[in-house]
Each structure stands twice: as structure tokens, then as C-alpha cells.
Amino acid sequence: MLCYMIAGAGVKTHFYWSMKTSNGDPDLLQSRLDNIVRHYQNDHRNCFAGNDQYRGARCRTDPNYLPQRTTLRDPVAIQLTTQWIRDTQIYKNPLDYVHNEHVDREYTSITRRQSATNPRAVEGHKVLKRKGNNFKATIWDTYMDTIFPAVN
């Protein structure tokens, strides 16, 4: 809950970005999640610099970058936010989230809305394509392979 008081939507965005750019590596996903607090402390040494597939985080690519949110300085807030991140299911079970087919889904259009209570909505909202459930078949196949391993 504390992370939402500090930077709720930003933390959520970091979680999705971490899953999207982890390249199927659960250790990399955890490392990127650990970096969220450092990012909000204005320490960008470990922020994503970019690669051939994804452009880097703005804090690493924009020389004029200035933090838009309050910088974390209070040791209690830092400790509580770190603990909150590490207590999430995504952090505890990263292997379950590195191949998540719903991350970075394609979209059909972008709608723009005005809202006094949600300024981020002014930037636009992607109308995402319908979620697939291919992961269910993958889970079933993995389960069945553990029960009935293939004989070589």
C-alpha cells in the first residue's frame, strides 16, 4: 500500500516494464524489480539502457531528464517500499511472470479522456486486443510432462 502513496502508477508501470524486458530471465526480472526503489531515490545507474528490441528508460536516454515524482529519502519509506515489492507474487515467483503473454499486448486504438482525478488518462488509453489464454495449455502440458515424462 505504501508504494501507491509514493508513486502508485509509476510503480505499476515499472512492474510491467520489468516483466516486458526481462527476456525470459527470472533473475533479471527480480533485479529490475529491486531497481524500482533505487530509481525513486534518483539513482539511475541500473535503470534499463535499452537494446535492439526496446528503447531505454527515459532516465537513461534523455540528457534533460528530471524526476517527476518525489525522490525517496526517508529510510523507513525506502525499507517499506522495498519490502512491499519483495512481498509481491511477481517478485516471489518470477518464473511465473517472465513468459506472461498479456504483457505488452497489441492494441487496436488509443482513446483520449479528460479526468481531473486521473491525470495520466489524458495521455491516452490503449484499447488492448482481447487476452489469449494460451498459457493454460502451456501450464497443462508442463503439468502432464511432470506426471508422464517422455521416455528417451
CA distance 52 to 82: 30
Residue 6, phi then psi, degrees to nearest 5: -80, -55
Q: What is the structure's pLDDT at 4?
A: 43
Average pLDDT over residues 105-120: 73
Residue 32 amino acid letter = R
Average pLDDT over residues 57-74: 89
128: confidence class by pLDDT, cuts 50, 70, 90: confident
Contact, 127 vs 111, CB < 8 A?
yes
Q: Where are the domains of the chain?
A: 2-102, 105-152
Average pLDDT over residues 124-140: 76
| Number of neighbouring beta carbons within 10 Å of residue 33 | 23
Q: What is the structure's pLDDT at 1?
A: 42
Cell triple for 41: 531515490
Per-residue pLDDT reduced to its tens digit, 69-83? 888 999 999 999 999
Contact, 127 vs 110, CB < 8 A?
yes
| Number of neighbouring beta carbons within 10 Å of residue 44 | 17
Q: Is the pTM of this model over 0.85?
A: no
7: nearest Cα among 46, 48, 40, 47: 40
Cell triple for 35: 531497481
| Number of neighbouring beta carbons within 10 Å of residue 56 | 14
Average pLDDT over residues 26-38: 95
Share of the chain above pLDDT 70, in %: 84
Average pLDDT over residues 40-61: 88
Average pLDDT over residues 42-52: 89
